[in-house]
Structure 1
Amino acid sequence: MSKVQAYLTLIDQVIEEGPYQDNWASLSKVKEPAWYKNAKFGIFIHWGVYAVPAFGSEWYIRNMYQPEHPVYAHHVKTYGSPKEFPYVNFIPMFKAENYEPKEWAKLFKDAGARFVMPVAEHHDGFQMYDSDLSTWNAVQMGPKRDVMGDLKKAVEDQDLVFTASSHRAENVWFCNGAMAFDSGLDSEGYIEPYGYRVKVDGTIANPTPKQDYGDSIPKAHLEDWLARTCELVDKYQPKVVWFDWWIQNIAFKPYLKKFAAYYYNRAVQWGIDVAINYKDDAYAKGTAIFDVERGQLAEINPRFWQTDTAIGKNSWGYTEGNVFKEPENIVCDMLDIVSKNGAMLLNVGPKADGTITDEETAILRAIGEWLKKNGEAFYDSTYWSVFGEGPTAIIEGQKMERQAKGYVKGDIRYTYKAPYVYAHVLKWPKDGKVTLKSFALGSKHFKGIIKDITLLAFDHHVNTIRNEDGLHLSIDDKYDTIYPVTVKIQID
């Protein structure tokens, strides 16, 4: 019996003996972890072999086998043809010689994050952890150390929650373009770490990776995916497992259910509360935590959800010339997300040597400084009667953040922790005058009593007038800031 088949047998046994079975009705009984809902903010880490070429994006392996893509031209010019210099030649160059997990964990702690999520395996098929199911991993190649295991220890030593993501599913088509030319990978079949390179209806499944591949996904890939993901769970006990978008394909459905049942049953054995992240409709509502990539929701969702996004605008992994977001805008997005019952998973892309860029380090520290002063309105909070108010409307959906116009004067977001409502003024006006329309006399959102109003992080007296137009706030002293200002409202 192969190692994969042995794991499949174990999976069936754990499911049979546990409280959760591999069907939606049973899986819908799992509860959203309280720690997760309270944490609000985590760090995502895209780090792998793709950091060596550091060009284009973390999809380097796919694009270097696309003859019409700029990455292909770059690869040929810099390293030679893909046949002469295949992607695996980068692995010995991925040494992680300056990787200090304790420094990473301390930085993430200083940033105000409460959980950390390294990419355990990206689409390129290289595992960043110790595996018994493949030799193509960081322990046996490249860094020759358990980079994920070392990070888990460092993270937990900082009292942060360790989580992990798997992008293994997409490996089955990620290098399909290599079948269209003399690439050295131009035949069908399995080649580690490049995957199966499948065809759909006899045609190279290359231009539309989001299509439903149905029976074209080899059963061996599906079983390998399940075994690898369960091994990841058993070896590292992450409290969240995150999946990328492609697992919604119908062929994956039975395996998604099996994984969830196995993971949730293992969590019961370990006495921990865990969650799965998914996109689109891969998992049934109420069986896992919905995730929006580089996007947000327009309204409050009563089910806890998450945004995953990156500090880098161009790439998730490290690339030369990446453009970075401003920390004040990230904080505004965080508040919008939390006001709607969500959490933010914010990505960094370390260099191949294991260092985090100066730009990302500075941004993380700036976010941390804001959270140190305003954290009581953020952590352990929940949504209020209304998420907020103001002229800026969020365009809902995956990958919609590039269409965002930015927050402006009058944009307010609310969080709640009894007996306080926190009004986050995303863009503090220069005249120091703010109106909270949701607190107007006769408002459907609030009919109680206001006992006290203060600015959370600043020692300024707040003048107040409440009438049918709203709760009008002002301060006598000039205060100039590019960051959100939090107004603490005690209610009764």
Structure 2
Amino acid sequence: MDKHAYLIAIEAVIAKGKFKDNWQSLSEYEVPAWYKRAKFGIFIHWGVYSVPAFKNEWYPRNMYIQGSDEYKHHIETYGQHKDFGYKDFIPMFKAERFDAAEWAELFLQSGAKYVMPVAEHHDGFQMYKSEVSSFNAYEMGPQRDVLGELKEAFEKRRMTFCVSSHRAEHWFFLSHGKEFESDVKEPLVCGDFYWPSMPEPDHQDLYGSPPTREYLEDWLIRCCELVDAYRPSIFYFDWWIQTEAFKPYLKKFAAYYYNKAMEWGLEVAINYKHEAFHFGTAVPDVERGQFAELKPYFWQTDTAVAKNSWSYTSGNDYKTSVEIIRDLVDIVSKNGSLLLNIGPKADGSIPEEDKQILLEIGDWLKVNGEAIYGTSYWRTFGEGPTLVEEGQFTDGKTKAFTKEDIRFTVKGSCLYAIVLAYPKDGIVKIKSLRKKSHDFQGIIEEISLLGFDEQPIWERTEEALIVKTSTVQSAAPVVIRLTLD
């Protein structure tokens, strides 16, 4: 690739397009309506790190940290790092059981509306055909354009194709391999798998080791190449792009992506964390966490079926489908969308645990999807005693929702009250819908429960709207549909 020519082409697109590389111009961006309607997507962490399948997807970094569990495991299992380094996993990443159509069918059955494979993780191995580096899945490992096959399979089933880039952190990700005798050795030049392996910044001082112009331009080109080759409808960025050095390049990328999308007639979005983008120019994302309250702006959370890892490992600690469904409901009620990650094995098969969770979520959505898809938030997101901890990395503990924890969504003439833990006695009290409530003064025409034949008995008192059933039992959330006059 002629990188200089590509950079000139990027500038030309920005110069002639509606969006310029400044926050004022990018503030004209609007979140696509399809994204706000979709509510549920699938994230996929799959790459060379799926071969060792130990601890988590940060194995390539941690295996070079002397004394770590990964370091010890690596020596015991594969030998000394100078003889067998991370690059030596690439030939073992064969993906012999990978079937894009099979994956797509599973995700379709899960009820997901958009799907986001990781295009490049921190390790620097590209899961697509690239002209930037030969260290990609088309030329090495599977020797297949994984991203291209997935795009075709998803779009054939009318699921929206998206991508993520975690490339920024590659600046330092393999740097610990330089601290002892390993296969991470100088000279390293642009295009090498281990390049640049610079000293890792203190996580409390993220600006201490700014990337060079060469690295930042390479990063921009990789991102724009993904846009041009695969036309994703969402481009997700992981952390570390919020550091100061990336700011000019983030603005250039956003302007390029938004302008190209307009040219192609696509409605697109960018996901970001940690205030990397100016508010209103892209969609904020909360990693492994939620907001405690309703937000007036659209947002997304990304989390995984496993609590301990984004990628497949032999010891994954799985959530239950009911936990995830409850989180989905809570997130949607607060004007958010859930991006749920699964981790395929190195051979391309999806673990049975991941499959089961997705299918159970899909079964619930087949019955209750009308209270999720295409809905909007109500005056209040919900009620109940259980407090949802706000912020990232808060999803490690199971939330103990009660029969009093109820979430609301609205669509058309219907208001949905979703009971997160349906009471065994069948008596639900919805305080927000009581007589003379400030939140609700509408006229209820009919009340029914999605997925159940029983017609509930109900009355409005000054304490609550009381809904009674005698046969309804469910471990998963139950949707009460109120049809309003």
TM-score when scaled to structure 1? 0.96
Tell whether 2:440 aligns with 1:446: yes
> What residue identity is the alignment partner of 1:478?
T
- In the alignment, which residue of structure 1 is the partner of 2:158? 159
* Structure 2 equivalent of residue 361 of structure 1: 355
- Alpha-carbon distance between aligned partners in 2 of 1:404 and 1:23, rounded to the nearest angstrom: 42
Deviation at 1:339, TM superposition (A): 0.2
Partner of 1:18: 17
Q: What secondary structure, in the 3-state scheme, does the structure 1 residue paired with 2:84 have? A: coil
CA contact (8 A) 1:210 1:246 kept: no
Task: Indicate the SS of the match to 1:464.
Answer: strand
8 A contact 2:454–2:471 mirrored in 1 = no
The Cα of 1:216 is off from its aligned counterpart by 3.1
The reply on whether 1:490 has 2:483 as its aligned counterpart is yes
Report 1:98-109 matches (<5 A). Answer: 98-109=97-108
Q: Give 1:366's aligned amino acid.
A: E
Instruction: Tell whether the 8 Å contact from 1:430 to 1:478 is kept in structure 2 after alignment.
Output: no
* Contact 1:166 1:244 (8 Å CA) reproduced: yes
The offset of 1:409, in angstroms, is 2.0
One-letter amino acid matched to 1:28: S
Is the 8 Å Cα contact of residues 3 and 133 (structure 1) preserved in structure 2? no
Name the count of aligned residue pairs.
Answer: 484
Partner of 1:124: 123
Q: 1:48-447 alignment to 2 at 5 Å? A: 48-187=47-186, 189-190=188-189, 192-198=192-198, 204-205=199-200, 208-209=202-203, 211-213=205-207, 216-447=210-441
1:412-455: per-residue Cα shift (whole Å, max 9, x none)? 01110021110000100000000011101121211121111111
Q: Decide whether the 8 Å contact of 2:323 with 2:398 is kept in 1.
A: no
Give the match's secondary structure for 2:240.
helix
- Secondary structure of the residue aligned to 2:284 is strand
Distance 1:210 1:162, change over 3 A: farther
Deviation string 1:103-129 (CA, Å, 9 cap, x unpaired) is 000000000000000000000000000
Displacement of 1:456 in angstroms is: 1.5
User: What's the C-alpha RMSD, in Å, of the aligned pairs?
Assistant: 1.3
- After TM superposition, where is structure 1 displaced by more than 4 Å over at least 4 residues in a row? 186-189
Distance in 1, Cα, partners of 2:284 & 2:263: 25
Query: Matches of 2:208 and 2:59 in 1, distance apart?
Result: 26
Corresponding position of 1:201: none
Partner SS, residue 405 of structure 1: coil
CA contact (8 A) 2:343 2:350 kept: yes
**CA–CA distance in structure 1, aligned partners of residues 452 and 143 of structure 2:** 49
Question: Does the aligned pair in 2 maintain the 1:394–1:404 contact within 8 Å?
Answer: no
Matched, 1:46 2:45: yes
Shift of 1:236: 0.2
Whether the aligned pair in 2 keeps the contact of 1:436 and 1:471 (CA below 8 Å) is: yes
8 Å CA contact 2:200–2:209 kept in 1: the answer is: no
Query: Residue 440 of structure 2: SS of its match in structure 1?
Result: coil
Report the secondary structure of 1:337's partner residue.
helix
Give the letter aligned to residue 29 of structure 2. V
Q: Distance in 1 between matches of 2:347 and 2:354?
A: 15
In 2, Cα distance between equivalents of 1:449 and 1:37: 28
Deviation per CA, 1:267-301: give whole Å up to 9, x if none: 00000100000001000110000000000011111
Is the 8 Å Cα contact of residues 391 and 410 (structure 1) preserved in structure 2?
yes
Partner secondary structure for residue 222 of structure 2: helix
Q: Amino acid of the residue matched to residue 196 of structure 1?
A: P
Q: Distance in 2 between matches of 1:167 and 1:288?
A: 17
Q: String of CA shifts for 1:213-266, please: whole Å, max 9, x gaps.
A: 366311111000000000000000000000001100000000000000000000
Matched-pair contact (CA < 8 Å) for 2:454–2:472: no
For 2:103 and 2:55, how far apart are their aligned partners in 1? 24
- AA paired with 2:271? N
Identity rate, percent = 53
Task: Return the offset for 1:212.
Answer: 2.4
Provide the secondary structure at the position in 1 that maps to 2:465.
strand
Distance 1:116 1:403 in 2: 26
Secondary structure of 2:61's partner? helix
Deviation for aligned residue 1:313:
1.3
Please, which moves more after superposition, 106-115 or 447-456? 447-456
Structure 1 residues 452-467: aligned runs within 5 Å: 452-467=446-461
Contact 2:166 2:238 (C-alpha < 8 Å) held by counterparts: yes
Q: Conserved in 2, the CA contact under 8 Å of 1:43 and 1:108?
A: yes
Could you tell me how far apart the structure 2 residues matched to 1:418 and 1:84 are? 64
Query: In 1, are the aligned partners of 2:120 and 2:127 still within 8 Å (CA)?
Result: yes
The residue identity in structure 1 corresponding to 2:195 is: G
